[in-house]
Structure 1
Amino acid sequence: MTDIEHPESFHGLPVHTLPGPGRTPATPLPEAGSVAWRLESAWQGDLAFGPLWQHFVDTVDTTRVRALVIGGWWQQEYEPFAPVADLLVRDAERFPSLRALFLADVVSEECELSWLEMCDITPVVEAFGQLEELAVRGSGDAGSDGSSLDLQPVRHKALKSLRFESGGLPSGIVRAIGASDLPALERLELWLGVSEYGGDTSVEDLAPLLSGATFPALRHLGLQNSEIQDEIAAAVASAPVVARLESLSLAMGTLGDEGAEALLSGQPLTHLTSLDLHHHYMSEPLVERLGNLLGPDRVNTDIDEAEDWDPEEDGHRYVAVDE
């Protein structure tokens, strides 16, 4: 589970972890709207998330909270996220100023991405009608109770940024996003992952996102961390949506020379202010050709060194984040 860390800031606000009940904070609590509040009950002894949540709504002026980060929610054993989602939905009216929500800010030292027992987050999205930014971590593998990360098509007028960080994003979620009505959406970032952990998205599933007709306000598109990155690059090379984008990311996946050739022979990319291709398997000649085509003065291009692998000894390419 690389490329994942706890954010120091979220929605432009510094992240502040709320001390649990009975724990004296080192300094006075910050003003409610000045930070992104992070709630974490994991590794805090016998503290369950329910009492931590109640402590939060009793201690902080929730009417002024602008950003909320949910960290580890279990106690001794990993538990499903559904009860946490239920609390968010139940108390949504207490957060009229909430504009950003991060579900499952968990790193590998705490729980592997594929072990997170997520749930259908549709009710959470629908409960916060003023939400502008939503980030979600989790994969498609079912939890011990059969629960898994899910999303249904939604209509949300305010959402501007949507990000799924996954080692295996189910195709059903990708199709649901493509079928959603999100007129304000400007940024969409999907870590698609691998089939071993539930990532069964195909290029066909991405068609509504690439059409250019689904999200009229879209300016950044990230289709990342995929084991079919060459196929995605080929689809992006002729996708109508690219002409209106300001930035594009095909990073963290298995992008190789085949995908690079598709990008080089496809539609112009020089209008982009940023192109992220880091963590790739392209050969040096293709990296040089891409760099020469785009040019350092025309686009901010992130093409780091190719991943270290020997196609003759081990032909398998790895995404940046899977388990």
Structure 2
Amino acid sequence: MSFSEHATTFAGLPVVDLEAGQPLPAVDGPVAWRFEHWDYDGDDEYEPSPTFAASFAELLDGIDTAAVRALVVGSWGYAAFNDAPIAQLCAAADRLTGLEALFLGDITGEECEASWIRLGDITPLLRSYPRLRVLRVRGTLELRLSPVRHANLRELAFESGGLPGHVLGAVLDSDLPALERLELWLGVRDYGGDIGIADLEPLLAGGRFPALRRLGLRNAEIADRIAAALAGAPVVGRLDELDLSLGVLGDDGAEALLAGQPLTHLRRLDLHHSFLSPPFAARLVEELPGVDVDVSEPQVEREWGRYTAVSE
């Protein structure tokens, strides 16, 4: 399965599409502006799309760049062949001086499968935008991150069908004192998701990211093992939200989670798109009064087994 729709909200704001050369849409209040330029030129040189670059430059000349608070970047040419416009985004930092939220890769499966989205080193984005509060990235092909210090980043998310362990390692080695929400789509091994429980231990131990209150370990084929590890993980005690959705969580994993440390302090426990049996889903809701437990979109195991929501 893959992504089927573009974002309609981002960073708490409605998403509004921009088109180069067209008048700005009328809006009522702050919005997250979205820009894309899908183009397939048949060139497999793996470089940034010149047509996207030209369209984005034209767009910047036509808007009040200093007023842009949130930016959603969709297709940059054909994302399987064209590298993400990271250098162009960094070069625009002296114009996008108010940017606080960036979503790189709001691309559907019809436009480019998630596992084919070419990214590159995203570290310069964090260095170029010291005021950034939210960074969301979709895709993993050539994805790289170096350990970085960023004083203001509050939300960091990697959406993928298979998250490489070196990305997690760089996140854990980064100095992010303001980070409140971390969302990792771990995915499956067949698409590069090589993160195991041992790799997650520094995060689960609670010694990283002192401001962390919302943790998502989503879209994971090892969801049952993650739930068992979370049962005694120190980080859980200071969370407001725990998200294990979109993966292959079943009754055994949820049983281990319930049998561990108390979870009644949580404001929300997101387990939607899981493989819980109806009786156990009902039990979770009953045993965690006062917690918003989401067990919607139940899945049924097929003859070939369980599946994550996004793998390609």
**TM-score normalised to structure 1 length:** 0.88
How many Å apart are 1:31 and its aligned residue? Answer: 7.4
Alignment-mate amino acid for residue 321 of structure 1: V
Within 5 Å, give how 1:2-21 maps onto structure 2: 2=2, 5-21=5-21
Q: Which residue of 2 aligns with 1:72?
A: 75
Aligned counterparts of 2:245 and 2:177: Cα–Cα separation in 1: 26
Q: Which residue of 1 aligns with 2:152?
A: 158
Q: Which residue of 2 aligns with 1:302?
A: 294
Q: 1:85 to 1:239 in 2, by over 3 A?
A: same
Greater CA drift, 281-290 or 198-207: 281-290
Q: 1:3 to 1:289 in 2, by over 3 A?
A: farther
Aligned counterparts of 1:261 and 1:29: Cα–Cα separation in 2: 50
> Number of residues paired by the alignment?
305
For structure 1, which runs of at least 5 residues remain unmatched after alignment? 143-147
Within 5 Å, give how 1:174-193 maps onto structure 2: 174-193=168-187
Instruction: Confirm or deny: 8 A CA contact 2:3 2:108 kept in the other structure.
Output: no
How many Å apart are 1:279 and its aligned residue? Answer: 1.4
Instruction: Confirm or deny: 8 A CA contact 1:38 1:71 kept in the other structure.
Output: yes
Greater CA drift, 211-220 or 286-295: 286-295
Q: Is 1:137–2:131 an aligned residue pair? A: no
Aligned counterparts of 2:55 and 2:297: Cα–Cα separation in 1: 44
Computed over aligned residues only, the root mean square deviation of the Cα atoms, in angstroms, reads: 2.2
Instruction: Confirm or deny: 8 A CA contact 1:80 1:119 kept in the other structure.
Output: no
3-state secondary structure, aligned to 1:154: coil
Q: Is 1:287–2:281 an aligned residue pair? A: yes
Instruction: Confirm or deny: 8 A CA contact 2:70 2:99 kept in the other structure.
Output: yes
Q: 1:305 to 1:121 in 2, by over 3 A?
A: closer
Within 5 Å, give how 1:231-246 maps onto structure 2: 231-246=225-240
Q: Which residue of 2 aligns with 1:117?
A: 118
Q: Which residue of 1 aligns with 2:66?
A: 63
How many Å apart are 1:4 and its aligned residue? Answer: 5.0
How many Å apart are 1:206 and its aligned residue? Answer: 1.0
Alignment-mate amino acid for residue 71 of structure 1: G
Q: Which residue of 2 aligns with 1:88?
A: 89
Aligned counterparts of 2:29 and 2:93: Cα–Cα separation in 1: 16
Aligned counterparts of 1:292 and 1:17: Cα–Cα separation in 2: 42
Q: Which residue of 2 aligns with 1:145?
A: none
Q: Which residue of 2 aligns with 1:97?
A: 98
Aligned counterparts of 1:12 and 1:131: Cα–Cα separation in 2: 15
Instruction: Confirm or deny: 8 A CA contact 1:32 1:62 kept in the other structure.
Output: no
Alignment-mate amino acid for residue 306 of structure 2: R
> 32, 35, 42: which is aligned to 1:39?
35
Q: Which residue of 1 aligns with 2:51?
A: 48
Aligned counterparts of 2:14 and 2:39: Cα–Cα separation in 1: 22
Q: Is 1:224–2:224 an aligned residue pair? A: no
Q: Which residue of 1 aligns with 2:251?
A: 257
How many Å apart are 1:276 and its aligned residue? Answer: 0.6
Aligned counterparts of 2:4 and 2:264: Cα–Cα separation in 1: 30
Instruction: Among all aligned residue pairs of Structure 1 and Structure 2, give the percentage whose two residues are the same amino acid.
Output: 50
Q: Which residue of 1 aligns with 2:311?
A: 322
1:91-135 CA-to-partner distances (Å, cap 9, x unmatched) read: 212122110000011011211111111111111111110000011
Alignment-mate amino acid for residue 16 of structure 1: V
3-state secondary structure, aligned to 1:87: helix
Aligned counterparts of 1:4 and 1:190: Cα–Cα separation in 2: 19
Instruction: Confirm or deny: 8 A CA contact 1:32 1:65 kept in the other structure.
Output: no
Instruction: Confirm or deny: 8 A CA contact 1:32 1:64 kept in the other structure.
Output: no
For structure 2, which runs of at least 5 residues remain unmatched after alignment? 42-48
3-state secondary structure, aligned to 2:76: coil
